[in-house]
Structure 1
Amino acid sequence: MTGGTSGIGAALVRESLRAGHDVFATGRDAGRLTAFLESCSGPGTGGGRAYGAIADAANWDQTRDAVAAAVEAMGGLDVAVANAGFSASGDLADGDPEVWRDMVLTNVYGPAILAKAALPHLTANRGHMVLMGSTAGRKVYPGNLYTATKWAVTGYAESLRQQLVGSGVRVLHIAPGHVDTPLWKEAPDAAIAPESVAEAMLWALAQPPGVDVSEVTIRATGQEF
């Protein structure tokens, strides 16, 4: 799982561990990753085991090495989660082009290279590829490049699903609405807990082999869009 040390990613890791699954998380900050993995062990954290490695989700070599490390640590790979992503401040007139580049690489290129690295293992195990999108991938905001990256994820998920028909690999696109994380500068109109997103993912992954839940949109009750 990319971007697994905070927000939705941390909730995905913790809820997966509580469900008894082993999890391999990546992050870019060594100190944060180490502290997070240490917090995921001990009483009350569940029956699964947490592993991790430093990796930039937008770096092909690091992503490929992280997938290899996950396979070695856990003995295989059943689920790959492209969760890493962020939103740049400003609009298309006053935003920072350098930050735009990082955002596009993380949000759009990142899921593609994770899939490329993970697909041989997912195919062998008839596993799941999970892509974290957003309700912003269904709605246009004036001058907002982040929404364009999430539109890209929406399209990429369906393109990948069609490519993998017949392989046994299922593709799950999760599109959360407003999620209650510290990243908000101003409180949204309504927000769900990140644990709710994690529970939705685990529900979709638990469906029998003949059932393919390919998209889940999850919002807080009362969210405007």
Structure 2
Amino acid sequence: MRSSLRGRHPGRLAAFLESCSDLGPVGGVVADAGDWEQTCRAVSRADRFLGGIDVAVANAGFSAPGDLADGDPDRWRDMVLTNVYGPAILAKAALPQLMENRGHMVLIGSTAGRKVYPGNLYTATKWAVAGYAESLRQQLVGSGVRVLHIAPGHVDTPLWEQAPDAAIQPESVAEAMLWALSQPAGVDISDVTVRATGQAF
């Protein structure tokens, strides 16, 4: 199975691609998820490398430090471009191929898009992802393209300085996504929440 990835940091992308060397052909391109032209180039390269795109996954995202009173507005701009604008432009760029192949558009949200953390703009960006996913799903009814929104809870990743006690591994999120993608053509799993046992929300 071929895969193609994009990342903003060349060193991290190269290291990740090296770690995937035993998984079959995996391509990669340096691109900013919040940049339209770079996204278009990344999708075009992925299309050539893969021979068509069946699944596009909008997974880029980060949380800016600080709250709504003392946070850095420049970091807010970057976060909104990555977390909200990024999934929208990836879907726009990939839709021609997804419609041709009756594929899947996957948007990674968060349980923070179900509830809010006090004074945290990140939660608003994840509410936006949930709303965008459902809006896109409704727009594409009848096209054969399925839209999957996954809302993970606490995941043990570098996003946390110290991972919460109730946290799942990234592989658990990937397995949930693969389960949803493996459903037959007549089944549309459009919204999945996956949490660690014991997470409060």
Higher mean Cα deviation, 142-151 or 183-192?
183-192
Residue 26, structure 1, aligned to residue 6, structure 2: yes
The Cα of 1:186 is off from its aligned counterpart by 3.0
Tell me which residue corresponds to 1:9. none
Shift of 1:38: 1.6
Q: Bigger CA drift: 30-39 or 66-75?
A: 30-39
Q: SS of the counterpart of 2:125? A: helix
Hey, what's the Cα distance between the residues in 2 that align with 1:187 and 1:216? 22
Mapped pair 1:179 → 2:155:
yes
Aligned residue among 37, 41, 49 for 1:65: 41
- The equivalent position to 1:112 in structure 2, one of 88, 99, 108, is 88
Match of 1:130 in 2: 106
Aligned to 1:221: 197
Name the residue aligned to 1:101: 77
Residue 143 (structure 2) aligns with: 167
Contact 2:157 2:163 in 1 (8 A): no
TM-score by length of 1: 0.88
Residue 166 of structure 1 and its aligned partner are, at CA, apart by 0.1
> Which residue identity is paired with 2:85?
Y
Deviation at 1:33, TM superposition (A): 1.1
> Contact conserved, 1:82 with 1:130, CA < 8 A, in 2?
yes
Runs of 4 or more consecutive aligned structure 1 residues displaced over 2 Å after TM superposition: none
Per the TM alignment, residue 31 of structure 1 is displaced from its structure 2 partner at its CA by 1.7
Tell me, in whole angstroms, the C-alpha distance in 1 between the residues paired with 2:147 and 2:7: 23
Any conservation in 1 of the 2:133–2:147 contact (CA below 8 Å)? yes
The Cα of 1:167 is off from its aligned counterpart by 0.1
Report the counterpart of residue 97 of structure 2 in structure 1: 121
Could you say which structure has the greater relative contact order, defined with CA pairs below 8 angstroms and 6 or more residues apart? 1
Match for residue 155 of structure 1 among 117, 127, 131: 131
Residue 74 of structure 1: aligned partner: 50
How many aligned residue pairs are there? Answer: 201
2:136, 2:62 → 1: CA distance? 22
Aligned equivalents of 2:15, 2:118: Cα separation in 1: 38
- Kept in 2, the 8 Å contact 1:91–1:143? The answer is yes
* Shift, 1:189, TM fit: 3.6
Q: Does 1:188 align with 2:168?
A: no
Indicate conservation of the 8 Å contact 2:62/2:159, yes or no: no
Mapped contact 1:189–1:224 kept (Cα < 8 A):
no
The counterpart of 2:15, out of the listed 27, 35, 46, is 35
Cα distance per residue 1:3-62 (max 9 Å; x no partner): xxxxxxxxxxxxxxxxxx3111000111221121122113xxx3x321010000000000
- TM-score when normalising by structure 2: 0.98
Cα distance in structure 2, aligned partners of 1:32 and 1:181: 14
Deviation at 1:182, TM superposition (A): 2.4
- Partners of 1:132 and 1:167 lie apart in 2 by 22
Q: Secondary structure at the match of 2:21?
A: coil
